[in-house]
Amino acid sequence: MPILDKYLEAMSKQRGEALVFKSGTAVELLVGGASKTISARPVNTEQLLSLLAEALGAETVQRMNGAGGDFRYQSPFGSVALRVTRPEGAMAIRVQRADGDVAGLAALLSASAPVPPPPPLPTPPKAVARVGAIRHIDELFHQMIDLNASDLHLKAGKIPTVRVDGKMIPMPGRAALDGETINRIVHGIMPERSQQEFSQTNDGDFAHEVGGRARMRCNVFRDLAGVAAAFRQVPVKIPTVEELGLPSSVMKFCELHKGLVVVTGPTGSGKSTTLAAMVNWINAQRDGHLITIEDPIEFVHSDKRCHINQREIGAHTRSFKNALRAALREDPDIVMVGELRDLETAAMAIETAETGHLVFGTLHTNTASSAVDRLIDQYPADQQSQIRAMLSDALKGVVAQTLLPKKGGGRVAVLEVLTVIPPVVNLIREGKTFQIPSLMQMNRNAGMLTFSDSLFEAVKSGQIEAQVAYERAPDRKEFGALLTQGGFRGPWREDQKKAER
């Protein structure tokens, strides 16, 4: 069911006269001349364009070319008239029965009455998988959410593919999409800046909200077959640290008042989710000014005890480096950097941490110790001695993680935690980071957690299969011995015997 039909259903049940959508405010329903809010949060222009594209077709929206107009739409609840206007660059839509009076829109939209707190909307209906023409990409997103898929991939000439519990499968009930269809449905939700970026570079990143059910991190690109896209589902509800099972040593990083904390892991390992849970905990437990710098914004945080500003690369700032430099003039207590992707960003993050701020950032490495090496190796050889000294003072902890298949379905995060205690400071300063893994094993009482420890606990608690853990262990020989001592039987015993011969 198109999103507009859901609102029209509410309008029909409550015998309303009209619906009013306006950028930056919640959706309003007019009943008996009075206005009431019926959406959980304000809508933006991008969402309104998607609503129109779903109801009227992407081509109709494109023909508007930034202007407005009057349109008819046949819904299951009767024919309605839509008047679209673009006051001062924003967007407003008034919807009422086709035989009603559409006059008075300008006066209504310019009203400045305070908006009451919005009640929660019902969860949008689940999408039904079916073969046929796709009117709007949200049809695929709803089905993706229903399948508990983490990712959706579109490629010309191929059935839409989703990733469920780490496995790639064709989307049930869907036919292969041609390049023209993919181009149409993807451009239907792309912001103008992303369309310009895509036309210039053949790549584009942006975020899209799906009817209050989830946000999508979107990447559109060209390949040999034409226009392609990859979408990552970001839940609307931010998971708690308890739901993620984060250890107490990780939570202590959230209590720091200065320093650098890095969350690392391969793509798709849940780094953003872990960081969002940590930011959510800080927001609920501490007073302060928290700035996030993301590309794009994924989890949306509402102010609790913290004053939060979320900035998106491209939409609100030019780059991570520029946003970090500006943050120093914005009186922050905590800064979350989506990715320490280059030397200049990493250098600014370390400098920010050194000047008395708490900085969180992400990297793409497999272990905690390799994250330290990655930060140092970004610098030219003649500067690495200096950066070791700076990093040894600024770095307070590293959380490395990966996701493994969970018994019974789903995935579970396995963590490695490096707490930067004085012996670690010395190893970083002296360029002996290769000794960090051994030091972690000897200092578990300082909050250290190795992948082997975390894997073994996950096996003992019945979350993952012993064989799965053994295959992903950083040191199979050592982990196989650990499993054998724990009473777990498997092929690792034979592997050990072969290694001993």
Closest CA to 416 of 461, 367, 379: 367
To the nearest 10°, the Cα dihedral for 456, 457, 458, 459?
50
CB-CB contact of 411 with 405 (8 Å): yes
pLDDT at position 113 is 35
CB-CB contact of 380 with 347 (8 Å): no
CA–CA gap between residue 15 and residue 97 (Å, rounded): 11
3-state secondary structure 247-305: CHHHHHHHCCCCEEEEEECCCCCCHHHHHHHHHHHHHHHCCEEEEEEECCCCCCCCCCC
3-state DSSP call for residue 88? helix
Q: Can you tell me which residue has the tokens 């900085």?
A: 359
Q: What is the DSSP string of 422-434?
A: HHHHHHHHTT-GG
CB-CB contact of 458 with 442 (8 Å): no
Closest CA to 280 of 313, 218, 236: 236
Closest CA to 44 of 232, 273, 207: 207
| C-alpha 95, offset from chain centre | 32
Q: What is the DSSP letter of 318?
A: S
pLDDT at position 461 is 93
Q: Can you tell me which residue has the tokens 């998607």?
A: 50
CB atoms closer than 10 angstroms to residue 228: 19
Burial 438-464 (b: 16+ CB within 10 A, else e): ebbeeeeebbbbbbbbbbbbbbeeebb
CA–CA gap between residue 484 and residue 222 (Å, rounded): 49
To the nearest 10°, the Cα dihedral for 444, 447, 453, 456?
120
Structure tokens that stand for 457 in this block? 């606990």
pLDDT at position 498 is 61
pLDDT at position 145 is 94
CA–CA gap between residue 454 and residue 326 (Å, rounded): 39
pLDDT at position 335 is 98
Per-residue pLDDT 10s for the chain (501 aa) are 678 888 888 888 888 889 999 888 889 998 887 888 888 788 888 788 878 878 887 777 777 766 788 888 888 888 889 999 887 667 899 999 875 433 333 333 333 333 333 333 333 333 333 445 788 999 999 999 999 999 999 999 999 999 998 899 999 989 999 999 999 999 999 999 899 999 999 999 999 999 879 999 999 999 998 999 999 999 888 999 999 999 999 999 999 999 999 999 998 899 999 999 999 999 999 999 999 999 989 999 999 999 999 999 988 999 999 999 999 999 999 999 999 989 999 999 999 999 999 999 999 999 999 999 999 999 999 999 999 999 999 999 999 999 999 988 888 999 999 999 999 999 999 999 999 999 999 999 999 999 999 999 999 999 999 999 999 998 888 898 889 888 888 887 666 566 555
Question: If phi over 0 gives left and psi between -120 and 50 gives alpha, with beta otherwise, what is residue 74?
Answer: beta
The structure's pTM equals 0.69
CA–CA gap between residue 347 and residue 159 (Å, rounded): 43
3-state DSSP call for residue 55? helix
Q: In terms of C-beta distances under 8 Å and separation of at least 24 residues, what long-range contacts does 480-485 make, across chains too?
A: 482/452, 482/456, 483/456, 483/459
CA–CA gap between residue 273 and residue 383 (Å, rounded): 34
CB atoms closer than 10 angstroms to residue 213: 17
CA–CA gap between residue 95 and residue 77 (Å, rounded): 13
pLDDT at position 255 is 97
| C-alpha 139, offset from chain centre | 20
Q: Can you tell me which residue has the tokens 């777990």?
A: 488
For CA atoms 192, 51, 133, 175, the dihedral sign is positive
Structure tokens that stand for 225 in this block? 């077959």
Phi and psi torsions of 353, nearest 5°: -65, -40
> What angle (nearest 5°) sits at the alpha carbon of residue 377, between those of residues 450 and 290?
70
Strand partners, 168: 163
For the chain, list the domains and their CATH numbers. Answer: 3-110 (3.30.450.90), 138-235 (3.30.450.90), 241-464 (3.40.50.300)
